[in-house]
Structure 1
Amino acid sequence: MIVGCNFHFTQALNRKLQNLGLREIWNNEGYPGEWIRCLKALAFLPESLVLTAFNAILRNPPAYDDGNNHLMDFRNYFENTWLNGRFPIKLWNQWENDSPRTTNHAEGYHNRLNLMEVRDMNLAPMHNRDQVRVRNLRRGAYQPKPRDGTYVDLDNRITGAKQ
């Protein structure tokens, strides 16, 4: 199953909020900020409930007098891009995802390759070292680096909320 990176999903939403001049409200307490956080949280509902929740609760943005109706613009962007558009719900939905919710691990690996200037390098020795490391991890020869406790707590909260 291919699942998109939740970090990049929320980053795209934040970028659109910024472009619409809504940066000051997305983290604020109060209804407009809460409404935005609820849109982002749709990624953690079962896929079958995302459209229902959007239509029942989030279709109409809260009243916010910015003079330009930018919350409605953001709602239209979300609906046209993430619900009925380019990115199917299945791609950004995290409900069934028990794997990492970000692609940081892959990005870190690619960054390491770029730092090594691999354009003209023979990758076979590095590949062999990585294969040995994976085999050793699988058989328990050594433990992987422990995860940051903040993320462990967050995973536990998400798992608890699913039950």
Structure 2
Amino acid sequence: MLILLSGCLFHFGQCVWRKFQSCGLTKKYHDDQHFHINVKKLIALAFVPVVDVVKAFELLESEFDDNADELISYFEKTWIGERKRWGNIINQMLLLITKFFSVNGRKIPQFTHELWNVYDRVVADLPRSNNAIEGCHNAFANRVLTAHPTIPKLTDKIRREQSKFEIDIEQSRQGHEPKPKKASYRKLDERIKRLVQAYNNNDLVQYLSSVAANVNL
């Protein structure tokens, strides 16, 4: 069985949010509109096809001033991949070879592009985050009502939960519609889907700006 691991857009955004807070950039984010939009463009990189992520980042990083060097360094190392340093002539020749074969000349980041990228998921109408799963976990924890339940009590709760899910599955098979999203979330999904479907890698700057306008931190 092939299992594809995928990260969560919400937690990706939260990681970036916490980092620029730790860099002392919160006030700048709220006061500087140019910086505000550029930070949201970093999150918008998740909506760029994986093959174009590095190109989009390199266009974007020049938009940040020196005050954001620590943030950009973190983002590059963690999510994009640092540039490889090529010192001697042999290494420079290797760099030319890797460029010829379309290797981007960067180290592997802490989190690969495929893990946090959601472009294909938007195209396929799949969730961009795992918040629904976490919601189920939290709801189940609330029903258990204790941090360390006994095995018999936990077993009983799991059986009841299974019965509930079996009812939900049967209702779905019978054609019952799931609980609809709020209208605001549904409209946001529709806007993002339209932007992603109209993606053009010759206009990356405008694409990032458009997606960023629909991203919240």
Per the TM superposition, whether the score is higher than 0.5 is yes
Question: Does 2:164 match 1:125?
Answer: no
1:149 maps to which residue? 183
1:47 maps to which residue? 50
1:100 to 127, 130, 136: 127
Normalised to the residue count of structure 2, the TM-score between the two structures is: 0.66
Question: 5+ residue gaps in structure 2?
Answer: 82-108, 199-217
Paired amino acid for 1:73 = E
Correspondence 1:24-35 to 2 at 5 A:
24-28=27-31, 30-35=33-38
2:74 maps to which residue? 77
**Aligned equivalents of 1:17 and 1:45: distance in 2?**
22
| C-alpha displacement of 1:26 | 2.6
Of stretches 86-95 and 19-28 in structure 1, the one that deviates more from structure 2 is: 19-28
Instruction: Tell whether the 8 Å contact from 1:20 to 1:70 is kept in structure 2 after alignment.
Output: no
| 1:27/1:95 CA distance change after superposition, 3 Å | farther
1:66 maps to which residue? none
**Rg (Cα) greater in structure:** 2
**Aligned equivalents of 1:39 and 1:156: distance in 2?**
21
Question: Does 2:140 match 1:113?
Answer: yes
| C-alpha displacement of 1:30 | 3.0
**Aligned equivalents of 2:180 and 2:53: distance in 1?**
33
**Aligned equivalents of 2:131 and 2:76: distance in 1?**
27
Of stretches 29-38 and 93-102 in structure 1, the one that deviates more from structure 2 is: 29-38
Identical columns (%): 31
Instruction: Tell whether the 8 Å contact from 1:61 to 1:72 is kept in structure 2 after alignment.
Output: no
Paired amino acid for 2:51 = S
Question: 5+ residue gaps in structure 1?
Answer: 64-68
| 1:60/1:133 CA distance change after superposition, 3 Å | same
Alpha-carbon RMSD across the aligned residues, in angstroms, is 1.8
Instruction: Tell whether the 8 Å contact from 1:61 to 1:71 is kept in structure 2 after alignment.
Output: no
Instruction: Tell whether the 8 Å contact from 1:61 to 1:75 is kept in structure 2 after alignment.
Output: no
| C-alpha displacement of 1:7 | 0.8
1:37-69 per-residue CA deviation (whole Å, 9 max, x = no partner) reads 2111101111111101112x1233533xxxxx5
Instruction: Tell whether the 8 Å contact from 1:45 to 1:95 is kept in structure 2 after alignment.
Output: yes
Question: Does 2:61 match 1:59?
Answer: yes
Question: Does 2:111 match 1:87?
Answer: yes
Normalised to the residue count of structure 1, the TM-score between the two structures is: 0.86
1:135-154 per-residue CA deviation (whole Å, 9 max, x = no partner) reads 211331x2211101111111
Higher relative contact order (CA 8 A, sep 6+): 2
